Amino acid sequence: MLKIAKNRLNELFAAIAEKQTLYIPVDREDGAAEYRKWENGCEMSGALNTVRSAKDFFFPQTENLVDFKMEGKNIEVIDIRKESEDFVIFGVKACDARSFTILDKVFLVDPVDSYYKTRRDHGTVVTMACTRPSETCFCGVFGIDATAPEGDAACFSDGENIFFKANTEKGQAFIDSISSMLEEGDTAKLDEVQAKTKSILEKLPLANLSTDSFGGARLKEHFNSDKWGELSEACLGCGTCTFVCPTCQCYDIKDFNTGHGIKRFRCWDSCMYSDFTKMAHGNPRLTQLERFRQRFMHKLVYFPANNEGEFGCVGCGRCLSKCPISMNIVKVMKALEVK
């Protein structure tokens, strides 16, 4: 397998960044990690994952769709779409990599979301296999192998070297573009690390969480469950879970008056918000219970119903650690489990 010594990673980043924009996870002063544009001196974070997921690269929190120029009584429509530049996201974890597959099922089916597609086309996802999963990880529940991440190209670390493997043509092209810096390497130590990681994955507290009780067929049973009241009781109705979630894909479209024109933009929305999908007639989900139920029904029932059984969750554990009141999909799944 092709590899590069870990201590040469910065050289590699410099080489990538010469050709296209490179994003890597870096540590912030508060101890959390976030994706930043690589610049000389940036160190890749050793953290398990970033607070915000990698979906931002393809589906940013706010995005301009179209401008209207206004002069007096005249309105002119301006298409602001520009050909996007190529970019690389490096160090995406297996869970986030899977989230792109889920987002694709929403944005790339007819009618195709051209804003999303442009970004997808121009972005190369280079993933990094996990070595130190956390107690909040449960990607395995959704059939994700944290030691063999998807993405255009995948990387694996044995502690001293980073190994590369292409998963797609785009990934192969990426590896080819840096091949001059790579060398063939022995994977014996890597296999050891992988085996160790796998044994940890099996021991994770949430490893035995089951999806058997969920899926499209369970709609009525779960929708009418009397558990929702208790589960949603403490929900603050904030959007933390939604906004840190790599698979949440709801958005709202709004206009902003700049004084000399209108910018029509879309921004993330959260089904936890009281005015989510508010229409002229009013609001379809009036209580926090209904809104709370919507989020989990969507991930565990409606999404698989429409997408060949694929769940709308990748088990990244972000909502587990970030919900202000520690209510999350795992607690919901356990409460609704059909015995």
Partner 1 sequence: MQRIGVFVCHCGTNIAATVDVKAVAEALGHEPGVVISQDYQYMCSESGQNLVKDAIKEHNLTGIVICSCSPRMHENTFRKAAASVGLNPYLVEIANIREQCSWIHKEIATATEKAIILGKAAVAKVHLNAPLTAGESPVVKRALVIGGGIAGIQTALDIAEAGFDVDIVEKEPTIGGKMAQIDKTFPTLDCAACILTPKMVECSQNEKIHIHSFSEVSDVKGFVGNFTVTIKKKARFVDETKCTGCGLCTEKCPMKKVPNEFNMGLDNRTAIYIPFAQAVPKVATIDPNHCMMLKTGKCGVCSKVCSVGAIDYKQQDQFIEEKYGAIVVATGFNPIKLDKYDEFAYNQCADVVTSLELERLMNAAGPNGGTLLRPSDKTHPHKIVFVQCVGSRCDDSKGKPYCSKICCMYTAKHAMLIREKYPDTEVYVFYIDVRTPGKNFDEFYRRAVEQYNVHYIKGMVGKVTPKSDGKIDVQASDLLSNEQLHIDADLVVLAAAIEPDKTARPLATMLTTQMDTNDFFTEAHPKLRPVESATAGIFLSGACQGPKDIPETVAQGSAAAAKAIGLLCKNSITCNPCVAHSDELMCNGCSSCEKVCPYGAITYIDKEFRMPDRTTAIRRVASVNPAVCQGCGACTVACPSGAMDLNGFSNSQIMAEVDAICK
Partner 2 sequence: MQEAMIKRAKELLADGTVNRVIGWKKGEFFYDITPAVFETAEEIDADFVFDDFTSANVSKYLVKESKKEGKILAFLKPCDTYSFNQLIKEHRVVRENVYIIGVPGGPKLDIEKIKAKGITGVLGVKNENFTLKIDTLYGEETMPFYEAICGKCADCKSKKHVIYDELIGEDGDVLDSNRFDMVEKLENMTAQERFEFWREQLSKCIRCNACRNVCPACTCEKCVFDNPNSGVENKAASDSFEENMFHIIRAFHVAGRCTDCGECSRVCPQNIPLHLLNRKFIKDINALYGEYQAGADTTSRAPLNTYDTEDCEPSIVHERGVE
Partner 3 sequence: MQVNNNFEPVIVAFCCNWCSYAGADLSGTNRLNYPTNVKIIRVPCSCRVNPMFILRAFQKGADGVIICGCHPGDCHYTSGNYFTRRRITLLYSMLDFLGIERNRTRLEWVSAAEGAKFAATMQQFTEDVRKLGPNRRLEDLRCRKQ
User: What does the binding site for partner 3 look like in residue numbers (CB under 8 A)?
Assistant: 256, 258-260, 263
Give the DSSP H/E element, type plus range, for residue 165. strand 161-166
Site string for partner 2, 88-127 (x = CB under 8 A): ----------------------------------------
Helical H segments across the chain, by residue range: 9-19, 94-107, 114-122, 169-178, 188-203, 219-223, 227-232, 240-244, 288-297, 303-306, 318-322, 329-336
Q: Is 255 in the site for partner 1 (CB under 8 A)?
A: no
38/166 Cα distance (integer angstroms): 22
> CB–CB of 318/242 below 8 Å?
no
Site string for partner 2, 252-291 (x = CB under 8 A): x-x-x--------x-xxxx--xxx----------------
Among candidate residues 73, 206, 75, the one with its CA nearest the CA of residue 142: 206
Q: Is 281 in the site for partner 1 (CB under 8 A)?
A: no
**Binding-site member from 9, 88, 190, 204 for partner 2 (CB under 8 A):** 204
Q: Is 336 in the site for partner 2 (CB under 8 A)?
A: no
The site partner of 30 among partner 2, partner 3, partner 1, none (C-beta below 5 to 8 Å per kind) is partner 2
Among candidate residues 17, 149, 167, the one with its CA nearest the CA of residue 92: 149
Distance of CA 42 to the CA centre of its chain: 22
Helix axes 169-178, 9-19, angle to 10 degrees: 110
Q: Is 72 in the site for partner 1 (CB under 8 A)?
A: yes
128/57 Cα distance (integer angstroms): 17
Q: What is the DSSP letter of 282?
A: B
Residue recorded with tokens 């979630």: 245
> CB–CB of 271/291 below 8 Å?
yes
Q: Is 274 in the site for partner 1 (CB under 8 A)?
A: yes
Is the CB of 32 or the CB of 217 nearer to partner 2? Answer: 32
The site partner of 330 among partner 3, partner 2, partner 1, none (C-beta below 5 to 8 Å per kind) is partner 2
Is the CB of 223 or the CB of 256 nearer to partner 3? Answer: 256
Where along the sequence are the contacts to partner 2 (CB under 8 A)? Answer: 28, 30-32, 34, 46-48, 51-52, 61-62, 132-136, 200, 203-206, 230, 233-234, 236-240, 242-244, 252, 254, 256, 265, 267-270, 273-275, 320-322, 324-328, 330-331, 334
